[in-house]
Amino acid sequence: MTIELTPQNVYDVAPADLVQEDRVAGRVYTDPAIFELEMVKIFESTWIWVAHDSELPKPGSFKSTFVGRHPVIVSRDRKGVVHTLVNRCRHRGASVCEKRTGEANGFTCPYHAWSYGLDGKLRGIPYPDGYEGVMSKEGMGLKKLRTESYGGMIFATLADDIEPLEDFLGDVKTWIDRFMKQGGGYPIKVLGTHQFRFKGNWKIQLENTTDGYHFPIVHRSWMASVDAETADMMSFMTDPEAVTHDLGNGHSVGQMVPEHSDLDDDDGTEPLQARFAPLVERLRGHGLDDAAIRKLVRSMHGTGFNLNLFPNVSLSSAFFRTLRPISVDETVIEHVAIGPDGPPEIVDEVNRERLRVHEHFQGPFGFGTPDDAEGWDRVQRGAAGAPELPIMVNRGLAREKPSPEGWATSHITDETGMRAAYAHWKQMMSDD
Protein backbone atom coordinates (compact mmCIF):
# COMPACT_ATOMS: atom_id res chain seq x y z
CA MET A 1 0.00 0.00 0.00
CA THR A 2 1.36 3.42 -0.95
CA ILE A 3 0.43 6.31 1.28
CA GLU A 4 0.89 9.84 -0.01
CA LEU A 5 2.53 11.74 2.83
CA THR A 6 1.31 15.24 3.61
CA PRO A 7 2.26 17.75 6.29
CA GLN A 8 -1.01 16.75 7.98
CA ASN A 9 -0.55 12.97 8.07
CA VAL A 10 3.24 12.48 8.21
CA TYR A 11 3.28 12.21 12.02
CA ASP A 12 0.31 9.80 12.12
CA VAL A 13 1.49 7.15 9.67
CA ALA A 14 2.67 3.85 11.22
CA PRO A 15 6.50 3.57 11.15
CA ALA A 16 6.55 0.68 8.66
CA ASP A 17 4.44 2.71 6.22
CA LEU A 18 7.05 5.49 6.18
CA VAL A 19 9.21 3.26 3.97
CA GLN A 20 8.17 2.64 0.38
CA GLU A 21 10.01 0.91 -2.44
CA ASP A 22 11.61 4.04 -3.85
CA ARG A 23 11.47 6.54 -0.96
CA VAL A 24 11.47 6.88 2.81
CA ALA A 25 10.05 9.62 5.00
CA GLY A 26 12.58 11.90 6.67
CA ARG A 27 10.75 11.19 9.93
CA VAL A 28 12.64 7.87 10.18
CA TYR A 29 15.73 9.97 10.98
CA THR A 30 14.14 12.39 13.42
CA ASP A 31 11.37 10.73 15.46
CA PRO A 32 12.60 9.61 18.93
CA ALA A 33 9.64 7.19 19.21
CA ILE A 34 10.75 5.42 16.02
CA PHE A 35 14.27 5.21 17.42
CA GLU A 36 12.97 3.55 20.61
CA LEU A 37 11.01 1.06 18.50
CA GLU A 38 14.11 0.31 16.38
CA MET A 39 16.13 -0.53 19.47
CA VAL A 40 13.59 -3.24 20.32
CA LYS A 41 12.40 -4.45 16.92
CA ILE A 42 15.80 -4.37 15.21
CA PHE A 43 18.74 -4.17 17.63
CA GLU A 44 17.21 -6.60 20.14
CA SER A 45 15.72 -8.85 17.47
CA THR A 46 18.48 -9.74 15.04
CA TRP A 47 22.17 -10.64 14.88
CA ILE A 48 24.47 -7.78 15.94
CA TRP A 49 28.20 -7.89 15.16
CA VAL A 50 30.27 -7.64 18.35
CA ALA A 51 33.88 -8.64 17.59
CA HIS A 52 36.38 -10.21 15.25
CA ASP A 53 37.93 -13.45 16.40
CA SER A 54 41.42 -11.87 16.49
CA GLU A 55 40.27 -9.37 19.13
CA LEU A 56 40.03 -12.32 21.54
CA PRO A 57 43.39 -13.95 20.84
CA LYS A 58 43.57 -16.26 23.88
CA PRO A 59 41.62 -17.63 26.83
CA GLY A 60 40.87 -14.71 29.15
CA SER A 61 40.78 -12.11 26.34
CA PHE A 62 37.79 -9.80 26.40
CA LYS A 63 36.34 -6.80 24.59
CA SER A 64 33.56 -4.58 25.87
CA THR A 65 31.07 -3.24 23.36
CA PHE A 66 27.33 -2.82 22.83
CA VAL A 67 24.35 -4.69 21.41
CA GLY A 68 22.04 -1.79 20.61
CA ARG A 69 22.19 0.18 23.85
CA HIS A 70 23.04 -2.83 26.03
CA PRO A 71 26.65 -2.76 27.24
CA VAL A 72 28.18 -6.21 26.78
CA ILE A 73 31.46 -8.02 27.35
CA VAL A 74 32.64 -10.48 24.71
CA SER A 75 34.98 -12.95 26.42
CA ARG A 76 36.89 -16.11 25.56
CA ASP A 77 36.81 -18.69 28.34
CA ARG A 78 39.49 -21.23 29.32
CA LYS A 79 38.12 -23.75 26.81
CA GLY A 80 38.23 -21.16 24.00
CA VAL A 81 34.46 -20.68 23.88
CA VAL A 82 33.31 -17.10 23.18
CA HIS A 83 30.54 -15.62 25.34
CA THR A 84 28.62 -12.36 25.08
CA LEU A 85 27.61 -11.18 28.56
CA VAL A 86 25.52 -8.19 29.56
CA ASN A 87 27.92 -5.90 31.44
CA ARG A 88 25.65 -5.55 34.47
CA CYS A 89 26.13 -7.07 37.91
CA ARG A 90 23.18 -9.23 38.89
CA HIS A 91 23.23 -7.72 42.38
CA ARG A 92 22.61 -3.99 41.98
CA GLY A 93 23.28 -3.39 38.30
CA ALA A 94 26.78 -1.87 38.26
CA SER A 95 28.94 -2.47 35.20
CA VAL A 96 31.57 -5.10 35.99
CA CYS A 97 34.09 -4.06 33.30
CA GLU A 98 35.04 -0.59 32.07
CA LYS A 99 38.07 -1.54 30.00
CA ARG A 100 37.66 -1.64 26.26
CA THR A 101 39.90 -4.66 25.73
CA GLY A 102 42.20 -6.76 27.85
CA GLU A 103 42.78 -10.02 29.61
CA ALA A 104 41.15 -11.19 32.82
CA ASN A 105 40.48 -14.26 34.90
CA GLY A 106 36.90 -13.10 35.33
CA PHE A 107 34.94 -10.00 36.23
CA THR A 108 34.39 -8.61 39.71
CA CYS A 109 31.86 -5.92 40.47
CA PRO A 110 33.67 -3.00 42.16
CA TYR A 111 30.63 -2.16 44.30
CA HIS A 112 30.05 -5.28 46.46
CA ALA A 113 32.59 -7.65 44.85
CA TRP A 114 30.28 -10.23 43.34
CA SER A 115 32.62 -12.10 41.02
CA TYR A 116 31.90 -13.83 37.73
CA GLY A 117 33.81 -16.27 35.52
CA LEU A 118 34.76 -15.67 31.87
CA ASP A 119 31.59 -17.59 30.98
CA GLY A 120 29.50 -15.24 33.14
CA LYS A 121 28.79 -17.76 35.94
CA LEU A 122 28.53 -16.25 39.42
CA ARG A 123 31.61 -17.55 41.27
CA GLY A 124 31.68 -15.70 44.55
CA ILE A 125 29.66 -13.48 46.88
CA PRO A 126 31.37 -11.81 49.87
CA TYR A 127 29.78 -12.64 53.28
CA PRO A 128 27.39 -15.12 51.69
CA ASP A 129 25.57 -15.99 54.93
CA GLY A 130 23.02 -13.22 54.35
CA TYR A 131 21.83 -15.09 51.29
CA GLU A 132 21.16 -18.43 53.02
CA GLY A 133 17.60 -19.40 52.34
CA VAL A 134 17.18 -16.38 50.07
CA MET A 135 19.06 -17.10 46.85
CA SER A 136 21.44 -19.60 45.31
CA LYS A 137 24.27 -18.68 42.97
CA GLU A 138 22.73 -20.84 40.24
CA GLY A 139 21.00 -18.73 37.64
CA MET A 140 22.50 -15.49 38.99
CA GLY A 141 25.32 -15.22 36.46
CA LEU A 142 25.75 -12.35 34.04
CA LYS A 143 22.96 -12.43 31.46
CA LYS A 144 24.31 -14.32 28.46
CA LEU A 145 23.44 -13.62 24.83
CA ARG A 146 23.25 -16.20 22.08
CA THR A 147 26.61 -15.92 20.28
CA GLU A 148 27.57 -17.41 16.91
CA SER A 149 30.30 -16.67 14.39
CA TYR A 150 31.13 -17.07 10.73
CA GLY A 151 34.46 -16.47 9.02
CA GLY A 152 35.92 -14.93 12.19
CA MET A 153 33.01 -12.47 12.52
CA ILE A 154 31.33 -12.87 15.94
CA PHE A 155 27.68 -11.88 16.31
CA ALA A 156 25.33 -11.90 19.31
CA THR A 157 21.60 -11.55 19.74
CA LEU A 158 19.13 -10.96 22.53
CA ALA A 159 16.54 -12.93 20.53
CA ASP A 160 16.68 -16.61 21.44
CA ASP A 161 14.17 -17.69 18.80
CA ILE A 162 15.60 -16.24 15.58
CA GLU A 163 17.28 -18.21 12.78
CA PRO A 164 20.90 -19.39 13.11
CA LEU A 165 23.50 -16.78 12.14
CA GLU A 166 24.46 -18.64 8.97
CA ASP A 167 20.86 -18.57 7.74
CA PHE A 168 20.65 -14.84 8.50
CA LEU A 169 23.85 -14.24 6.53
CA GLY A 170 22.76 -16.46 3.62
CA ASP A 171 24.47 -15.34 0.41
CA VAL A 172 26.65 -12.93 2.39
CA LYS A 173 28.83 -15.88 3.42
CA THR A 174 30.44 -16.11 -0.04
CA TRP A 175 31.38 -12.44 0.20
CA ILE A 176 32.78 -12.78 3.75
CA ASP A 177 34.95 -15.63 2.45
CA ARG A 178 36.19 -13.38 -0.38
CA PHE A 179 36.75 -10.42 1.97
CA MET A 180 39.04 -12.44 4.23
CA LYS A 181 41.31 -13.26 1.26
CA GLN A 182 42.96 -9.86 1.72
CA GLY A 183 45.20 -11.59 4.25
CA GLY A 184 47.15 -12.63 1.15
CA GLY A 185 47.31 -16.24 2.26
CA TYR A 186 47.33 -15.48 6.00
CA PRO A 187 44.40 -15.11 8.41
CA ILE A 188 43.10 -11.61 9.17
CA LYS A 189 43.76 -9.77 12.43
CA VAL A 190 42.57 -6.45 13.84
CA LEU A 191 45.37 -3.83 13.85
CA GLY A 192 43.59 -0.94 15.55
CA THR A 193 40.33 0.98 15.75
CA HIS A 194 39.34 4.56 14.95
CA GLN A 195 36.24 5.88 16.68
CA PHE A 196 34.25 8.99 15.94
CA ARG A 197 30.71 10.26 16.43
CA PHE A 198 28.40 12.26 14.25
CA LYS A 199 25.18 14.11 14.98
CA GLY A 200 22.86 12.05 12.87
CA ASN A 201 20.67 8.98 12.75
CA TRP A 202 22.30 5.56 12.41
CA LYS A 203 20.53 4.77 9.15
CA ILE A 204 22.30 7.66 7.41
CA GLN A 205 25.54 5.74 7.88
CA LEU A 206 23.91 2.41 7.07
CA GLU A 207 23.01 3.84 3.65
CA ASN A 208 26.53 5.08 2.95
CA THR A 209 28.62 1.92 2.65
CA THR A 210 27.18 0.73 -0.67
CA ASP A 211 26.45 4.25 -1.95
CA GLY A 212 28.91 4.67 -4.81
CA TYR A 213 27.12 7.81 -5.98
CA HIS A 214 28.61 10.03 -3.24
CA PHE A 215 32.20 8.94 -3.66
CA PRO A 216 33.67 11.24 -6.33
CA ILE A 217 31.83 14.23 -4.89
CA VAL A 218 32.41 13.82 -1.16
CA HIS A 219 35.86 12.27 -1.50
CA ARG A 220 37.29 14.56 -4.15
CA SER A 221 40.00 15.78 -1.81
CA TRP A 222 41.10 12.21 -1.02
CA MET A 223 41.09 11.29 -4.73
CA ALA A 224 43.34 14.29 -5.41
CA SER A 225 45.82 13.09 -2.80
CA VAL A 226 46.35 9.50 -3.96
CA ASP A 227 48.60 8.28 -6.72
CA ALA A 228 47.30 7.85 -10.26
CA GLU A 229 47.04 4.04 -10.01
CA THR A 230 44.89 4.23 -6.88
CA ALA A 231 42.69 6.93 -8.39
CA ASP A 232 42.32 4.85 -11.55
CA MET A 233 41.39 1.77 -9.50
CA MET A 234 38.62 3.80 -7.86
CA SER A 235 37.21 5.25 -11.08
CA PHE A 236 34.13 3.09 -10.96
CA MET A 237 31.55 5.74 -11.80
CA THR A 238 31.56 4.95 -15.51
CA ASP A 239 32.47 1.25 -15.29
CA PRO A 240 29.43 -0.84 -16.29
CA GLU A 241 30.96 -3.87 -14.50
CA ALA A 242 30.82 -1.99 -11.17
CA VAL A 243 27.51 -3.06 -9.66
CA THR A 244 25.59 -3.35 -6.40
CA HIS A 245 23.71 -6.53 -5.43
CA ASP A 246 20.85 -6.92 -2.97
CA LEU A 247 21.89 -10.06 -1.04
CA GLY A 248 18.66 -10.43 0.98
CA ASN A 249 17.87 -9.83 4.68
CA GLY A 250 18.86 -6.16 4.27
CA HIS A 251 22.42 -6.99 3.21
CA SER A 252 24.07 -5.63 0.07
CA VAL A 253 27.43 -5.57 -1.68
CA GLY A 254 28.84 -2.83 -3.90
CA GLN A 255 31.60 -3.94 -6.27
CA MET A 256 33.64 -0.80 -6.90
CA VAL A 257 36.66 -2.61 -8.31
CA PRO A 258 35.16 -5.78 -9.84
CA GLU A 259 38.58 -7.14 -10.84
CA HIS A 260 39.46 -7.27 -7.11
CA SER A 261 36.26 -9.01 -6.03
CA ASP A 262 38.09 -12.32 -5.71
CA LEU A 263 41.72 -11.60 -4.92
CA ASP A 264 42.67 -15.16 -5.89
CA ASP A 265 41.86 -14.24 -9.52
CA ASP A 266 45.09 -12.74 -10.78
CA ASP A 267 46.42 -13.27 -14.28
CA GLY A 268 49.60 -11.39 -13.36
CA THR A 269 49.05 -8.53 -15.81
CA GLU A 270 47.90 -5.84 -13.37
CA PRO A 271 50.89 -3.67 -12.44
CA LEU A 272 51.52 -3.16 -8.71
CA GLN A 273 51.38 0.43 -7.51
CA ALA A 274 54.81 2.07 -7.80
CA ARG A 275 54.76 3.41 -4.25
CA PHE A 276 54.84 -0.16 -2.90
CA ALA A 277 58.06 -0.94 -4.81
CA PRO A 278 60.26 -0.65 -1.68
CA LEU A 279 57.92 -3.05 0.15
CA VAL A 280 58.08 -5.49 -2.76
CA GLU A 281 61.87 -5.45 -2.55
CA ARG A 282 61.83 -6.04 1.20
CA LEU A 283 59.39 -8.95 0.85
CA ARG A 284 61.57 -10.44 -1.87
CA GLY A 285 64.48 -10.12 0.55
CA HIS A 286 62.49 -12.26 3.02
CA GLY A 287 62.37 -15.03 0.40
CA LEU A 288 58.81 -14.53 -0.87
CA ASP A 289 58.20 -15.42 -4.51
CA ASP A 290 56.42 -13.10 -6.94
CA ALA A 291 53.04 -14.80 -6.55
CA ALA A 292 53.11 -14.47 -2.75
CA ILE A 293 54.20 -10.83 -3.00
CA ARG A 294 51.44 -10.02 -5.51
CA LYS A 295 48.86 -11.56 -3.15
CA LEU A 296 49.92 -9.26 -0.30
CA VAL A 297 50.41 -6.08 -2.33
CA ARG A 298 47.27 -6.39 -4.48
CA SER A 299 45.36 -6.62 -1.17
CA MET A 300 46.83 -3.40 0.21
CA HIS A 301 43.56 -1.51 -0.35
CA GLY A 302 41.51 -4.53 0.70
CA THR A 303 39.04 -6.18 -1.59
CA GLY A 304 37.28 -4.37 -4.40
CA PHE A 305 33.91 -4.30 -2.68
CA ASN A 306 31.96 -2.92 0.27
CA LEU A 307 29.75 -5.50 1.97
CA ASN A 308 26.99 -4.02 4.10
CA LEU A 309 25.47 -6.29 6.76
CA PHE A 310 22.18 -5.14 8.25
CA PRO A 311 22.08 -3.53 10.75
CA ASN A 312 25.47 -2.62 12.29
CA VAL A 313 28.59 -3.79 10.47
CA SER A 314 30.13 -3.60 7.06
CA LEU A 315 33.22 -5.16 5.58
CA SER A 316 34.48 -2.22 3.62
CA SER A 317 37.44 -2.54 1.24
CA ALA A 318 40.21 -2.91 3.86
CA PHE A 319 38.44 -2.50 7.20
CA PHE A 320 35.36 -3.26 9.27
CA ARG A 321 32.95 -0.41 9.90
CA THR A 322 30.51 -0.65 12.77
CA LEU A 323 27.77 1.71 13.83
CA ARG A 324 26.30 2.17 17.30
CA PRO A 325 23.10 4.13 17.69
CA ILE A 326 23.28 6.48 20.71
CA SER A 327 20.05 8.42 20.20
CA VAL A 328 17.81 9.37 17.30
CA ASP A 329 20.37 11.96 16.20
CA GLU A 330 23.71 10.66 17.43
CA THR A 331 25.76 7.68 16.24
CA VAL A 332 29.21 6.32 17.05
CA ILE A 333 31.22 4.78 14.23
CA GLU A 334 34.25 2.50 14.50
CA HIS A 335 36.65 1.92 11.63
CA VAL A 336 38.61 -1.22 12.42
CA ALA A 337 41.90 -1.60 10.55
CA ILE A 338 42.79 -5.17 9.58
CA GLY A 339 45.75 -6.95 8.06
CA PRO A 340 47.41 -10.32 7.67
CA ASP A 341 48.41 -12.33 10.75
CA GLY A 342 51.57 -14.32 10.04
CA PRO A 343 55.34 -14.34 10.55
CA PRO A 344 56.27 -10.87 11.87
CA GLU A 345 59.14 -10.40 9.42
CA ILE A 346 56.60 -10.55 6.60
CA VAL A 347 53.32 -9.22 7.96
CA ASP A 348 54.78 -6.35 10.02
CA GLU A 349 56.12 -4.74 6.84
CA VAL A 350 52.79 -5.19 5.08
CA ASN A 351 50.73 -4.01 8.03
CA ARG A 352 52.83 -0.88 8.49
CA GLU A 353 51.78 0.13 4.97
CA ARG A 354 48.18 -0.90 5.62
CA LEU A 355 48.07 1.25 8.78
CA ARG A 356 49.27 4.27 6.80
CA VAL A 357 46.69 3.63 4.06
CA HIS A 358 44.00 3.38 6.76
CA GLU A 359 45.13 6.59 8.52
CA HIS A 360 45.08 8.40 5.18
CA PHE A 361 41.31 7.93 4.68
CA GLN A 362 39.79 6.89 8.01
CA GLY A 363 39.68 8.35 11.48
CA PRO A 364 38.53 11.70 12.83
CA PHE A 365 41.32 13.50 10.92
CA GLY A 366 41.45 11.28 7.82
CA PHE A 367 41.13 12.56 4.26
CA GLY A 368 37.75 10.83 3.83
CA THR A 369 35.88 10.34 7.09
CA PRO A 370 35.40 14.00 8.12
CA ASP A 371 33.85 14.65 4.71
CA ASP A 372 31.47 11.69 5.09
CA ALA A 373 30.55 12.93 8.57
CA GLU A 374 29.87 16.42 7.21
CA GLY A 375 27.51 14.95 4.62
CA TRP A 376 25.71 12.86 7.27
CA ASP A 377 25.36 15.85 9.64
CA ARG A 378 23.80 17.79 6.78
CA VAL A 379 21.27 15.03 6.08
CA GLN A 380 20.13 15.10 9.70
CA ARG A 381 19.83 18.88 9.74
CA GLY A 382 18.07 19.11 6.39
CA ALA A 383 15.68 16.25 7.09
CA ALA A 384 14.07 18.36 9.82
CA GLY A 385 12.67 20.59 7.06
CA ALA A 386 9.42 19.88 5.18
CA PRO A 387 8.88 16.42 6.70
CA GLU A 388 6.32 15.52 4.07
CA LEU A 389 9.08 15.51 1.44
CA PRO A 390 10.53 12.03 1.00
CA ILE A 391 14.17 10.93 1.07
CA MET A 392 14.68 9.49 -2.41
CA VAL A 393 16.26 6.05 -2.82
CA ASN A 394 15.03 5.47 -6.38
CA ARG A 395 18.24 5.85 -8.37
CA GLY A 396 18.60 2.96 -10.83
CA LEU A 397 15.26 1.36 -9.99
CA ALA A 398 14.36 1.07 -13.67
CA ARG A 399 17.68 -0.59 -14.56
CA GLU A 400 17.71 -3.07 -11.68
CA LYS A 401 17.87 -6.67 -12.95
CA PRO A 402 18.51 -10.04 -11.33
CA SER A 403 22.10 -11.31 -11.48
CA PRO A 404 22.74 -14.94 -12.51
CA GLU A 405 22.65 -15.74 -8.77
CA GLY A 406 19.21 -14.12 -8.52
CA TRP A 407 20.36 -10.99 -6.65
CA ALA A 408 18.62 -7.73 -7.61
CA THR A 409 21.48 -5.83 -9.25
CA SER A 410 22.11 -2.37 -10.56
CA HIS A 411 25.03 -0.02 -11.16
CA ILE A 412 27.37 0.86 -8.27
CA THR A 413 26.05 4.44 -8.33
CA ASP A 414 22.46 3.21 -7.86
CA GLU A 415 20.55 2.94 -4.61
CA THR A 416 19.99 -0.81 -4.63
CA GLY A 417 21.80 -1.28 -1.31
CA MET A 418 19.61 1.31 0.43
CA ARG A 419 16.45 -0.23 -0.98
CA ALA A 420 17.62 -3.62 0.34
CA ALA A 421 18.20 -2.21 3.83
CA TYR A 422 14.92 -0.30 3.95
CA ALA A 423 12.86 -3.23 2.70
CA HIS A 424 14.24 -5.28 5.59
CA TRP A 425 13.74 -2.38 8.03
CA LYS A 426 10.09 -2.15 6.91
CA GLN A 427 9.59 -5.87 7.49
CA MET A 428 11.14 -5.76 10.97
CA MET A 429 9.30 -2.59 11.99
CA SER A 430 5.87 -3.78 10.86
CA ASP A 431 3.32 -4.81 13.47
CA ASP A 432 2.77 -8.35 12.12
- Near other proteins in 318-357, by CB under 8 A: 332-334, 337, 348, 351-352, 355-356
Interface with other proteins (CB under 8 A), residue from 140, 199, 213, 282: 199
User: Would you mind telling me the total number of residues written for the chain in this entry?
Assistant: 432
Q: Report the SS3 class of residue 115.
A: strand
| Residue 23 in contact with other proteins, rule: CB under 8 A | no
Q: Minimal distance in Å, beta carbon 224 to other proteins?
A: 7
Q: Minimal distance in Å, beta carbon 188 to other proteins?
A: 15
CA-closest candidate to residue 151, choices 197, 129, 198, 183: 183
| Residue 193 in contact with other proteins, rule: CB under 8 A | yes
Q: Minimal distance in Å, beta carbon 216 to other proteins?
A: 11
Helical packing angle, 344-361 and 277-285, nearest 10°: 170
* Interatomic CA distance for residues 310 and 169, integer angstroms: 9
| Residue 78 in contact with other proteins, rule: CB under 8 A | no
| Residue 430 in contact with other proteins, rule: CB under 8 A | no
Q: Residue 150 belongs to what H/E stretch?
A: strand 144-150
- Residue 300 CB-half CA count within 13 A: 24
Interface with other proteins (CB under 8 A), residue from 115, 149, 174, 225: 225
Pairing of strands 101-103, 153-157: unpaired
Q: Minimal distance in Å, beta carbon 375 to other proteins?
A: 7
Interface with other proteins (CB under 8 A), residue from 69, 99, 284, 399: 99
**Beta bridge mates, 299:** none
CA-closest candidate to residue 307, choices 295, 325, 294, 320: 320
| Residue 286 in contact with other proteins, rule: CB under 8 A | no
User: Is 269 in contact with 425 (CB distance < 8 Å)?
Assistant: no
CA-closest candidate to residue 43, choices 70, 17, 16: 70
| Residue 302 in contact with other proteins, rule: CB under 8 A | no
| Residue 100 in contact with other proteins, rule: CB under 8 A | yes
Q: 293 vs 333, which CB is nearer to other proteins?
A: 333
Which residues in this chain contact other proteins in the complex, by CB under 8 A?
98-100, 191-199, 218, 220-222, 224-225, 332-334, 337, 348, 351-352, 355-356, 358-360, 363-365, 367, 369-375, 377, 381
